[in-house]
Amino acid sequence: MSFTQFAHSRKSWGALLGFVVLFEACALTFQYLFDYQPCIMCVYQRAALLGIGLAAVIGSIRPAHWLWRSIAWLVWLIAATWGTQIAHELVQLQTNPSPFHVCSFTPEFWLPLDQWMPWLLQPTGSCTDELWQFAGLTMAQWTRVMFAGFTIAAVVFSKACLTWKK
């Protein structure tokens, strides 16, 4: 199976959705098992992951159809880029804390997602809390790596996703 054929299959979009589910499960595990409360930036990153998951679902509907694949790819790229930006901002907040910056506890979504899914998208923590590290990186730094990976993958898949033919 060529790279283009893979991008035109449900397997590729299913793999993308699998990564989203894995990372959302990690976030919920840290929140509910280890009691690490998510800050507003964490909530926005979770929403960006949901956007990537939405892209995977859209791509899975008709992966061989150019229009569906293109829409899915565009949603994926936008959500991954936004997630990378939010993760970078959180790393900057934690690296250079300022007494003049206070995190909000009220997310600003286009839809009331925090009311529909408070268990996932309700911020209850502080942006400057660094509660966990692995291999010398904080959780915020790992999420920046994760979203950068999603963004790079979207760019790598761009040609294969946007081709007209199989």
pLDDT single digits (tens) 38-76: 888 898 999 999 999 999 999 999 888 788 888 999 999
The active-site residue, picked from 39, 69, 144, 161, is: 39
pLDDT single digits (tens) 1-48: 676 777 777 888 899 999 999 999 999 998 899 888 888 889 899 999
* This prediction's pTM: 0.88
Residue 166 has pLDDT above 60, yes or no: no
- Of 69-73, 105-109, 155-159, the range with the lowest mean pLDDT is 105-109
Cα dihedral sign for 34, 37, 41, 46? positive
What pLDDT was estimated at residue 149? 95
To the query of whether residue 46 is one of the catalytic residues in this protein, the response is yes
User: Token pair for residue 22?
Assistant: 């894995």
To the query of whether residue 161 is one of the catalytic residues in this protein, the response is no
To the query of whether residue 10 is one of the catalytic residues in this protein, the response is no
To the query of whether residue 39 is one of the catalytic residues in this protein, the response is yes
The active-site residue, picked from 42, 69, 144, 161, is: 42
The active-site residue, picked from 69, 127, 144, 161, is: 127
pLDDT single digits (tens) 130-148: 777 788 888 888 999 999 9
What pLDDT was estimated at residue 154? 92
The DSSP call for residue 137 is E
Please report the domains of the chain, with CATH numbers, ordered by start residue: 3-162 (1.20.1550.10)
To the query of whether residue 26 is one of the catalytic residues in this protein, the response is no
